[in-house]
Copies of this chain bind each other. A is one copy, B any other.
């Protein structure tokens, strides 16, 4: 009898931002180990905000997963259960095409061997995974943050935002300021991620609080949320500041175009803006880990995790992620 496994799928094509009831957990055949590749028993799968758009076929031209058939997309980590290539069984690996399922097949070139050591493997989906690589690329390859920089980042309680601040700090930034929604998230940003300050954009008079915090001006900004927040950040920028444009989380669930960025403000501030697509930095993964794995091991790069324990709990956790109510990196532990 063919072995089976659990898999998370869409119940029906999506018209709007996914809710828990849009998902189904089905029993399906366990994939075979491909020639020249491995079958990975996944221990953790990531849930990422962009997948909310991807599920409707609205992320970088990629097709939506077929309802009741394709696993919901997600990166994963796990252990090689079967191998038909040079990677030994029992090896820890990271793979992009994991998905909401217990086992995933991959060719040898599609997995990265990881060496967790004393770190939990799930760290390779947050601080040492795509969110960490995104933050590292923005801070070190585009904004080139260094000693004396004053850094602002929004969605600072998220995995990317949290890593941005901690990597900037490790590179010598003088001050790191976050923006997040709610007192709980701001406490996480300050107390766990070690930011100097965090402004709660759900509080009254938060713009005044931000202006007071940024009275000396910022030199680096990392934008995760919206063009409105980028424009606000630019108004607080010192001359020759750098802004990394990474994401528009506030617009992932909307069909309306984001407002544009004022041309005159960019000139007036002599600002440099850099668009960031993390996929472009895969080939610098080794350089990223060389810098950031020691930071994580030393407890200087930490990302909280919001974990669904098993696939059955994944839909509710994903809905919470879409509503911005997650606290730390959203993951499924299998």
Report A210-230 residues with CB < 8 Å from chain B CB.
223, 227, 230
Q: Which residue of B lies closest to A270 (CB)?
A: B275
A273 touches B270 (CB 8 A): no
Q: How many chain copies?
A: 2
| Chain B residues, Cβ within 8 Å of A246 | 267
Q: Which segment, of A9-17, A119-127, A253-261, faces chain B?
A: A253-261
| Chain B residues, Cβ within 8 Å of A260 | 227, 231, 259-263
For residue A274, CB closer than 8 A to chain B, the reply is yes
B266 touches A245 (CB 8 A): yes
B263 touches A245 (CB 8 A): yes
For residue A20, CB closer than 8 A to chain B, the reply is no
A258 touches B262 (CB 8 A): yes
Q: Which residue of B lies closest to A227 (CB)?
A: B263
| Chain B residues, Cβ within 8 Å of A262 | 257-258, 260-261
For residue A272, CB closer than 8 A to chain B, the reply is yes
| Chain B residues, Cβ within 8 Å of A264 | 248, 257-258
For residue A280, CB closer than 8 A to chain B, the reply is yes
Q: How far is the CB of A249 from chain B (nearest CB, A)?
A: 12
Q: Which of A261, A264, A275, A276 gathers the greatest number of chain B CB atoms within 10 Å? A: A275
The CA-CA distance from A142 to B246 in the complex, in Å, is 21
For residue A269, CB closer than 8 A to chain B, the reply is yes
Given contacts A227-B260, A261-B261, contact A273 B277 (CB under 8 A): no
| Chain B residues, Cβ within 8 Å of A266 | 245, 261, 273, 275
Report A139-186 residues with CB < 8 Å from chain B CB.
142
Give 16 pairs: A residue, B residue, CB < 8 Å, sorted on A: A223-B263, A230-B263, A239-B280, A247-B267, A257-B262, A258-B263, A260-B262, A261-B261, A266-B275, A267-B276, A271-B274, A272-B272, A272-B273, A272-B274, A272-B275, A273-B273
